[in-house]
């Protein structure tokens, strides 16, 4: 048995909302399905609400915590688990590839603070073979963007980037009353599983995401307008893409086709 967590005032600077609902906690753990031998990494364990059941199931766990005031409490709470490791630091700057080393792919989990969720997911998406899967609790609106389909209002830069690298599944909603302090928005659990082989490989991923950023610069404008000076109408038409389409109607495969054509053309590589 672990010691009860010490009381800790949530810090606005870190966007902290601590999970308290035991039913939700057990549902999240079931969705993750931790097994002995898994290389589990928890980002922002907070007061250990998810940490304890994950440790119980897998026997080992590494956590990344930025708030140094929480670390002594975690050390006390889980002192009797020899394979519990704390990395003090910022997950946004963390090298997950180095952490994996020669071992199995990392299974990354976390109740991510709203203020870092998008940049952190972007950081993790580019970690290649280091990640086996990711389960995150995020603001519901962010999960809807990650899991969106082309043509819908939520389809955008984040959707394209996430689905280029991963299969994305929205699992279930978590209401505000599951947290202390209570956030003003719903949260949701998402599962991101990196593709074993990319369905639409880009010759130059940096160029792909530069184009996607340009395309979504003004959602109400057409591709022709948003990509002006970077991709000609002739190139779009040669690829069978109508230049008058809006950016949110294109699939991942269509964006990759544009980027690959641009990369192949003389002077089309990223400057």
The string of pLDDT tens digits covering residues 202-260 is 999 999 999 999 999 988 899 999 999 999 999 999 999 999 999 999 999 999 999 99
Report, as an integer, the average pLDDT of 189-213. 96
Residues 24/195, Cβ–Cβ less than 8 Å = no
pLDDT value of residue 46:
83
Residue 11 pLDDT > 70? no
Structure confidence at residue 48 as a pLDDT band (50, 70, 90): confident
If you average pLDDT over residues 191-206, what whole number do you get? 96
pLDDT digits (tens, 9 = 90+) for 147-185: 999 999 999 999 999 999 999 999 999 998 988 888 888
Could you tell me the two tokens for 142?
């962010």
Q: pLDDT above 90 covers what percent of the chain?
A: 74
pTM given for the model: 0.88
Question: How confident is the model at residue 9, as a pLDDT?
Answer: 47
pLDDT band at residue 36 using 50, 70 and 90 as cut-offs: very high
- The angle that helices 205-215 and 252-264 make with each other, rounded to 10 degrees, is 120
pLDDT band at residue 16 using 50, 70 and 90 as cut-offs = low
Mean pLDDT value across the chain: 89
Residue 10 is predicted with a pLDDT of 44
Q: What are phi and psi of 62, to 5 degrees?
A: -115, 140
How many of the other CB atoms lie within 10 Å of CB of 244? Answer: 11
The predicted-structure confidence for 53-64, as pLDDT tens digits, reads as follows: 999 999 999 999
Using CA atoms, how far residue 205 sits from 28, 71, 165, 221, in Å, is 32, 37, 10, 24
**Helix/strand/coil for 204:** coil
Residue 267 pLDDT: 56
Tokens 């964006």 appear where? 255
């Amino acid at each position: 048995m672990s010691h009860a967590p010490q009381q800790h005032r949530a810090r606005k600077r870190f966007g902290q909302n601590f999970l308290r609902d035991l039913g939700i906690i057990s549902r999240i753990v079931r969705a993750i399905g931790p097994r002995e031998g898994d290389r589990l990494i928890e980002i922002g364990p907070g007061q250990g609400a998810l940490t304890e059941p994950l440790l119980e199931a897998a026997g080992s766990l590494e956590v990344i915590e930025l708030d140094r005031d929480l670390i002594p409490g975690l050390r006390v709470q889980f002192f009797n688990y020899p394979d519990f490791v704390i990395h003090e630091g910022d997950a946004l700057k963390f090298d997950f590839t180095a952490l994996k080393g020669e071992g199995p792919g990392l299974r990354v989990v976390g109740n991510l603070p709203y203020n870092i969720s998008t940049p952190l997911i972007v950081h993790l998406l580019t970690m290649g073979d280091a990640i086996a899967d990711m389960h995150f609790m995020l603001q519901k609106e962010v999960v809807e963007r990650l899991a969106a389909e082309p043509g819908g209002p939520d389809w955008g830069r984040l959707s394209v980037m996430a689905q280029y690298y991963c299969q994305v599944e929205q699992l279930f909603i978590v209401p505000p009353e599951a947290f202390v302090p209570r956030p003003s928005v719903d949260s949701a659990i998402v599962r991101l599983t990196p593709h074993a082989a990319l369905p639409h490989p880009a010759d130059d991923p940096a160029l792909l995401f530069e184009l996607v950023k340009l395309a979504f610069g003004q959602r109400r404008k057409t591709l022709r307008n948003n990509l002006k000076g970077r991709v000609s109408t002739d190139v779009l038409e040669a690829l069978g893409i109508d230049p008058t389409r809006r950016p949110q109607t294109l699939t991942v495969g269509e964006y990759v086709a544009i980027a690959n054509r641009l990369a192949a053309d003389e002077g089309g590589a990223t400057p």
